[in-house]
Amino acid sequence: MVCDRRTWLDPDTPVSDDPRRVPIPPDGDEGRALLLRGGRVFDGVDGEVREGAILTWGREIADVNFSGDPPPGTEVVDVQGATVLPGLIDLHTHLTYHEPHVPVERAQCIADATLRALERMRFFLESGITSVRDAGSHRAVPFRLKEWVAQDRVPGPRVFPAGQLITGTGGHGAEGLSPLAPAHGKIREASGPHDWREAVREQFKMGADVIKVASHFSKEEIDAAVDEAHTLGLRVMCDAETFYIDRAVRAGVDVIEHPLPRTDEAIELMASRDISAVPTLIPYLIIFRRLGGYFHSTSRRFSFSAEDNLEVVRRMRRAGVRMGIGTDLVMDWFRMLPDAYITELEQFACAGFSRGEALLAATRHSAEILDMDHRLGTIEAGKLADLIVVTGEPDRNLRDLAQIDTVIRDGRIVIRDGSLEEPRHQAVHMDDLQ
Ligand SMILES: [Zn+2]
């Protein structure tokens, strides 16, 4: 018998403990409508571009081939000369990570962590990224941000948090970690299968949408963590390398993060067991170029290079492993958005993806890896209205993705003419007080 809560749940049933929670409250604004017409549409279904006129109603896409007169009150957006795409997805972010050279007490400060995340969320949104998977952040911060974005109280992409990163004592992210080290608060060191299970439950209790684990771990530890996460209905994303990937794949993790060395056998198992990959090539390019290599890390003790990383992606592509886009822009690298995101897509192109396939990785396939493909990732009637309008033809020139004109999240224009649209606050009138 399969122990996974998801198998007992029709995703169309709105229940309170849906592990694939859509972080949106019930829509109180059903009358809101947008019509995007006159442009090209990359709908993310098959990588093709077609003509179309998209009508949104409330927070959902109502029609992708609308003709006739729009309902009264519809805002008509002329998208001539532009391409409409599904909102982009970034599967690997750390919203609260500190920037370099900040004092330890500021790096750990929850107020600072929240403000750092708020600044980053604007960069993501203005880059056309409407969903992010947070792969480890400080304590409650990503969970609260998820709620506040869903309630339109702060601007940002949808946040799907993992909570704390779980690793073995002294493992990735916890190298030499002391209570005063900057990573404190976003890492959960665990030791032994029982404690790994407990660490998963702690993130579940906070409201995690996914569990993030990192090497090192024993076979018994990763088996326990994956069993616990799946039983709770959560997927597992895993930062690992070498034989740890074999262990993770055999344990049944759902996604392997990063382009780190792995055996052909592991790649074959990933393909045959439908285990996805988020290669995150861009942070390694930055590290190799800026720092010359990995230092002060016990979890990156192997030889690799930018070319080796690309080769891992090529091997996974040949084997038929599904891949999505993640940028893992730690430190102050978020300031390189949208360039960094586009460069990740160009790296996919270097590994043999067509431009259309790279865009599918950024949309449909990333939504599948997020376990949200029933609501996100393509432009189809009934899905959530997360749309971007890009001047140009990004399916022919990926660099056109830098020309973000409009971003729509939940059927609401959040970026207009390339920058944040902040509606005036909704004031409560004194007369309404009893
Ligand atoms: Zn990361």
CA of 65 to the centre of ligand 1 (A): 39
Q: Give me the pLDDT at residue 181, please.
A: 62
Please give the distance, rounded to the nearest whole angstrom, from the Cα atom of residue 4 to the centre of ligand 1.
26
**Centre of ligand 1 from the C-alpha of residue 285, in Å:** 14
Residues 6+ apart with CB under 8 A from 433: none
Is it the case that residue 422 has pLDDT exceeding 60? yes
Q: Where in the chain is the domain with CATH 3.20.20.140?
A: 88-369
Please tell me the distance between residue 182's alpha carbon and the centre of ligand 1 in angstroms: 15
Which range is least confidently modeled, 147-151, 219-223, 373-377?
147-151
CA of 294 to the centre of ligand 1 (A): 14
Mean pLDDT of 185-190: 89
Type of residue found at 316: M
Distance 210 CA to ligand 1 centre (A): 14
pLDDT (tens digit, 9 = 90+) per residue, 203-258? 999 999 999 999 999 999 999 999 999 999 899 999 999 999 999 999 999 999 99
Quote the ligand 1 centre to 357 CA distance (angstroms): 24
Distant-in-sequence, close-in-space partners of 28: CB < 8 Å, separation ≥ 6: none
Residue 295 binned pLDDT confidence (cut-offs 50, 70, 90)? low
Range from 84-88, 120-124, 323-327, 329-333 carrying the lowest mean pLDDT: 329-333
Range(s) for CATH 2.30.40.10 in the chain? 29-86+378-420
Gap from CA of 347 to ligand 1 centroid (Å): 18
- Return the structure tokens found at 281: 């090539």
What is the 167 CA–ligand 1 centroid distance (Å)?
A: 13
6-15, 341-350, 415-424: the lowest-pLDDT one: 6-15
Q: Detail the DSSP E strand segments found in 102-164.
A: 129-134, 158-161
Return the structure tokens found at 25: 């409250």
User: What would the pLDDT profile of 8-60 be if each residue is shown by its tens digit?
Assistant: 767 666 654 455 555 455 555 667 899 999 999 999 999 899 998 999 999 89
Task: State in Å: Cα 330 to ligand 1 middle.
Answer: 7
Q: How far is the CA of 272 from the centre of ligand 1 (A)?
A: 26
Please determine, for residue 80, whether its predicted confidence score (pLDDT) is greater than 90.
yes
Q: Is the separation of the CB atoms in 291 and 338 below 8 Å?
A: no
3-state secondary structure of 350: helix
% of the chain beyond a pLDDT of 70: 91
Contact 372, 131 (CB under 8 A): yes
**H or E element in which residue 390 lies:** strand 387-391
Q: Which fold has domain 88-369?
A: TIM Barrel (3.20.20)
Place of tokens 């790096």: 107
Q: 93 CA to middle of ligand 1, Å?
A: 6
Helix (H) or strand (E) holding 420: strand 419-420
Ligand 1 centroid – CA 173 distance (Å): 9
Q: Ligand 1 mean position to 90 CA, how many Å?
A: 12
Distance 283 CA to ligand 1 centre (A): 9
115 CA from centroid of ligand 1 (Å):
19
Pairing mode of beta strands 88-93, 129-134: parallel
How far does residue 234's CA lie from ligand 1's centre (Å)? 19
pLDDT of res. 14: 60
Could you tell me the fold of the domain covering 29-86+378-420? Urease, subunit C; domain 1 (2.30.40)
CA distance 75 to 378: 22
How large is the average pLDDT for residues 100-125?
93
Q: Distance, CA 328 to ligand 1 centroid (Å)?
A: 5
Cα-to-centroid distance, 92 and ligand 1 (Å): 6
Is the pLDDT assigned to residue 416 strictly greater than 60? yes
Read off the pLDDT of each residue in 289-302 and give the average, rounded to a whole number. 74
CB 384 within 8 A of CB 22: yes
Q: Do the Cβ atoms of 92 and 135 come closer than 8 Å? A: yes
pTM of the predicted model as reported, rounded to 2 decimal places: 0.94
Is the pLDDT reported for residue 336 higher than 80? yes
Say what the alpha-carbon torsion angle 161, 164, 165, 167 is, to the nearest 10 degrees: -150
Give the pLDDT score at 122.
96
Q: What is the reported pLDDT for 34? A: 97
Range list of β-strands (E), 198-247: 210-214, 235-239
